[in-house]
Amino acid sequence: MKAVKRAQTAVVNIHTEKSSDESNSIFGKTNRGKINGMGTGIVLDERGYVVTNNHVIAGVDSLEVSLCDSSRYSAHVVAFDRAHDLAIIKIDGNPKLDVMTIGTSSDLMVGETVIAVGNAFGYVHTVTSGIISSLSRDVEVNEEQQYRNLIQTDASINPGNSGGPLLNLDGEVIGINVAIRAGAQRIGFAIPIDDAREQIARLLSVETLEHKYHGLLTRDVKTPDSLQLVVDNVKSGSPSESAGFQNGDVIVRIGQTHIEDRVDLERSLLGLQTSDNVPVLIRRGSEEQELMLTLSRLSSRQFASGVETPTQPSAQPVAFNGSEAWDVLGMQLEEMTGSSKKRLSPRYRGGMQVVNVRPGSPAAANGIRQGDVLVGLHVWETVNTENIDYVLDHPQLKTFNPLKFFILRNGETLYGHLNLSSTQTTASR
C-alpha cells in the first residue's frame, strides 16, 4: 500500500532496558536485574529527533532504536512532558533519516479508514488497519495519567505500538498511538496530531534546549487544504524584530526547511550558532520576501524564570536542558507541586525532582539519578528554581566547593558532595 510505503522509513522501533529494582546506595555498583521494554517513534527531523510517548522511555537505563533497514543506533532522551505523555529522543550518530509526512487531525471523521504502524509485541514495523471509532474521547489510565480529546480506533494497537503513527490513506500521520483498553479487543487510542504538535514544539524549543532566543510568537493554522505558520507577535528588541518580521507574516521556509507549523520552526533553528545568519522566506500579503534571522543567547536567569519562554505553561512543566543546574551540576530539575509533594517527608517543604542527568557531569559522577528529589544545596533548601539560582549565582560559590547536596530516594535522605571543578566526586550516606 502506498500509504505504508510512504511512511514506514520514518518509523523507528524503540528498545529499552531498565532496572527491575532500586538500590538505596548513592554510590558504588549494584547487581540488579534488567527489564526489556519496547515502543515506537516517529522521525521529526532528519538529524535523528524522534517523538514517542513518555511512558515508553520513563526511567530507562539504556535506549536503542532500529530502523526500517534493520540498522540499530543508541539514543538518548532530549525532553519530555509527563502530563501529555510525549517525549523527544535523539538518535546518536549522524544517520540521514526520512521525516514523517504530517497531516492534520482537524478534518477527521468517524468511520474513516486509518492505519497503525509500530513495534507490536516486539514485531517491528507491524501494520494494522481499521477505522476511527470515535473522536474526542477522554481516557483515565490511573490517578497520575489522564488523556483528553483522544482518537478512538479499532485498528489493532498492542503493547509496543505506543508512540507510533496512526496514518490516513495518504500516508500522513494524523495521530500518535498512546493507549489500549485493557481486557477489550480492538479498542485503541491516539493523540490527535494537531494537539501533539503543539506540545512537540514546546519540547523542541531552541529556548528550552539550547538557551537561544528568536522572539517570535506564532500560531498554527491547519485546515484540510493548508498547513501554515502565522506570526502573531514579534517581541520588542528581539532578533525577530531586528530581522524585520511583522504580525501576520506567514513563514514559508527557514534555511532549507519547509515550514508547516511551529515544530518546523523550532527544529529548523536547532543547532544554529548565535553568529549564524539564517535566511527566512515569508509571505506578507500576496508577496514573498526573504529576511535574515540571527539568534541571540538567553541568560540563565531569564531562562530559569520563564521570562522568555511564554510557550511553557507553569502548570505543566517540561523537563529541559539549558539551565544553570544542567550546565553546572548536570541535572535537569522540575519543581514538585500538588500531589507530587505528598511523596515527600513532612520534614521538607518541597524539592526539585531530577528528571535527567547529563553523562560525565558532577551529578552523574556522584550517582544521582532520574527520580531522585533534590531537597538541599549547601545550607539552603531547594524548593524552586529561584533557590537553585541563589546558590549557583552566589558570589562565594567557589568557597562551597565541593558543594554538599541532599536528595530523597525511596524515602531516605542521602547526601554527597559535587566537585564543580571536576567530575570526580565523593558521596556518603
Q: How confident is the model over 400-405, as a mean pLDDT?
A: 86
- Residue 396: its pLDDT value, please? 79
| CA–CA dist 1, 87 (Å, integer) | 29
Percent residues over pLDDT 70 in the chain: 86
The count of other CB atoms within 10 Å of the CB of residue 74 is 11
Catalytic residues: 55, 85, 162
| CA–CA dist 51, 75 (Å, integer) | 12
Omega of the bond leading into 402 within 30 degrees of 0 (cis): yes
- Residue 318: its pLDDT value, please? 39
Residue showing cell 497503525: 116
Give residue-wise pLDDT tens across range 121-161: 888 899 999 999 999 999 887 777 889 999 999 998 888 89
Give residue-wise pLDDT tens across range 196-236: 999 999 999 998 888 888 999 999 998 888 899 999 999 98
Q: Which domains does the chain show, CATH number per domain? A: 2-91 (2.40.10.10), 113-192 (2.40.10.10), 204-297 (2.30.42.10), 323-428 (2.30.42.10)
- Residue 13: its pLDDT value, please? 94
Mean of all residue pLDDT scores within the chain: 83
Give residue-wise pLDDT tens across range 7-43: 999 999 999 988 764 444 333 444 556 788 899 999 9
Secondary structure letter of residue 197 according to DSSP: H
| CA–CA dist 60, 85 (Å, integer) | 15
Q: How confident is the model over 226-250, as a mean pLDDT?
A: 93
C-alpha cell belonging to residue 420: 564543580
Maximum C-alpha span of the chain: 68
Could you tell me which residues are beta bridge partners of residue 428? 415
| CA–CA dist 65, 92 (Å, integer) | 10
